[in-house]
Structure 1
């Protein structure tokens, strides 16, 4: 399901009513815990949390006009999906998250490489997502991103 809107505010205003409370709470949790250097923005047509060009002028290598993506949030057909490139790129961060998840949610972790799907909105582990967002600074993400590009 493609996001509807050209600004963060427009996307947030088009979330289905059954999900709006959980989606907005998750978005606010992410924003409240974003380290300095990241900002909410439109990223590849959706709601993203990025390193803006003023901090990382090179942008994303696949499409330099786009700011460097770090995380994202989307309302899909059957779930709210949260994307985090740090857990995709850093095995230690992934291990930490997978270990911590059962302490924060009764639901089995439903996860792809960087995507965490929340099908039961009442079991979204907001505190864990907040902690995850605080685990990596913008400079750490840039350094990790660049180290992966050089391989």
Structure 2
């Protein structure tokens, strides 16, 4: 043992670890975050869009054509256009949820537009009554032919 020049008295003893303290020891061994890591809150900065809205619309239309022809499946068509199937569904959802365009302010109704509206409502009532009369006559004629009465 003369070959080993280790003094057993100077070697630090390993700390005793209790059965429930294993997680605490592992947590203590983990590297603590640096100041630059603390600045990162875990949220990624928004990425710049890779495709413009026009490109997205064009690709969605092209995929719809390819799938509609029956020549390709949705996954194959999306891959051919350079996007994933998930991206296709995200774009399609975003395209269908677009807010409606801003409407022009409604015109102020004048007396002439109100009188036109009243005339149209009266004509509507007259035409409905005429239609009801024709349908009743037709119904009565069919009942006579069938002998239902």
TM-score by length of 1: 0.18
TM-score by length of 2: 0.18
- Greater C-alpha Rg: 2
* Structure with the bigger percentage of helix: 2
* Structure with the bigger percentage of strand: 1
